[in-house]
Amino acid sequence: MPRIIVTGGSGKAGQVVINELLQAGHSVLNLDLLPSSNPAITTLKTDLTDAGQVFSALSGQFAFSEPFPPGLPPKPDAIIHLAGYSRNMIAPDTETFRVNTTSTYNVIEAACKLGIRKIIIASSVTVYGVTYANGNIDYPSFPIDEEIDVNPTDTYAIAKLCGERVARGFASRFNADIYVFRIGRVVDPDEYDSEMFRSYVNEPAKWKVHGWSYTDSRDLGRMCDSAIKKDGLGFQVFNATNDTITNFGNTMAFLKEVCPRVPFTREMGEVEAPLTNRKMKDLLGFVEEHPWKRYYKTS
C-alpha cells in the first residue's frame, strides 16, 4: 500500500484530500499543528517551519503501533504539501511570508535529501496576480495557463511563487518529480449551495478575482492521486482546477464581454474554465468527477 505524507491534512482541503487518498487505497500520515477531525488519521503535531521537526517526521514511523515494526521505517512514496496560511490577512504579511516559504523549503529539502521521489506542492492561482492586486487589473491573456509569465504583487502569492522556484531548483538538483499545483478557490461539497457559488453564477462579472474557475476539494484529492501515479515528469506546474467556467455563459463570449482588451492565445472550449486545467488532463490523465452543475440548484 503506497505511503503518502500529507501536510496540512487537518485543514479545509487536506481533510477531503486525505479521504480521497484513503479511498484510492493509499495509507496516509498527516503532519499538522492541529489534530485532524478524523480520528482514523494519524496526525503528527509538526511545526513545518522547524527543519529539524520536518526531517524527523519524514524519516520516522508512519503509524502508531505497539510495538513498532522491526528495522528502520520504510520511506514514504510521496509527500503532498498543503500546510500554511491559505490567503493574505490571516497573519501579518511578514508572518505569512515566513511560514509559507520556510515550510515549503523545509519540506522540499528534507524530502529530496531523504530520497522521497514524488513531491506535490500546493501553490495557488493567485500567482497570476489578479486576486490580490491593488485594484482591478486584467489577466495578460486567455486561457490563463501555465505558460503565462507570473508577476504577483501581494505577499501570499509571492510566497507561493518562491515555493515554486525552490521546487524547480530542487527537482533539477535531485532529479526528483516535483509537481506544483496552482489550486483555484477550493469548493467543498456543501459550498455549491453557498452565497459565494450563487454569486459566481448570478453575478459573474464580480468574479475575475477567482478567474471564473474553482477546484472541487474531492477532485483535488483525485488530482493528487493522478500525480502520485504518474512518474518521470520532473518539475511541472499544473493549474489544479475543474473543467468548466463557473457560470452559464459561453467561455469566449463571456470573457470578450468582461475583459474586452485581453487577447486569446488559442480557441477555448465552449464552457472551458478560464484557468484551464488542460495540462493536468493531458499529462496526468485527470478526469473530473465533480462538475459544479451536478450539485448547483437553480431554483
Task: State in angstroms the smallest separation of the CB of 217 from ligand NAD.
Answer: 8
Strand, coil or helix: what is 239?
Answer: strand
> Which residue's CB is nearer to ligand NAD, number 132 or number 254?
132
Task: Give dist(CA 240, CA 279) in Å, integer.
Answer: 9
> Which residue's CB is nearer to ligand NAD, number 47 or number 77?
47
> Which residue's CB is nearer to ligand NAD, number 110 or number 252?
110
Task: State in angstroms the smallest separation of the CB of 8 from ligand NAD.
Answer: 3
Residues near ligand NAD, by CB under 6 A: 8, 10-14, 32-34, 46-49, 82-84, 86, 99, 103, 122, 124, 183, 185-186
109 exposure class (CB count in 10 Å sphere: 0-12, 13-18, 19+): middle
First to last CA, the chain: 45
With CB atoms as reference, the residue minimizing the distance to ligand NAD is 11
Task: State in angstroms the smallest separation of the CB of 266 from ligand NAD.
Answer: 25
Query: Taking the CB of residue 172, how many other CB atoms lie within 10 A of it?
Result: 12
Task: State in angstroms the smallest separation of the CB of 18 from ligand NAD.
Answer: 11
Task: Give dist(CA 82, CA 75) in Å, integer.
Answer: 20
Which residues partner with 181 through β-bridges? Answer: 122, 238
> Which residue's CB is nearer to ligand NAD, number 120 or number 255?
120
CA angle 8, 73, 123 (to 5 degrees): 25
Q: Where are the beta strands (DSSP E) in the chain?
A: 3-7, 27-32, 42-45, 78-81, 118-124, 177-183, 186-187, 215-216, 235-240
Task: State in angstroms the smallest separation of the CB of 184 from ligand NAD.
Answer: 6
Task: State in angstroms the smallest separation of the CB of 87 from ligand NAD.
Answer: 7
Cis ω on the peptide bond leading into residue 67 (within 30° of 0)? yes
> Which residue's CB is nearer to ligand NAD, number 157 or number 255?
157
Give the residue among 60, 19, 65, 62 at the shortest CA–CA distance from 38: 19
> Which residue's CB is nearer to ligand NAD, number 161 or number 186?
186
Residue with cell 506546474: 237
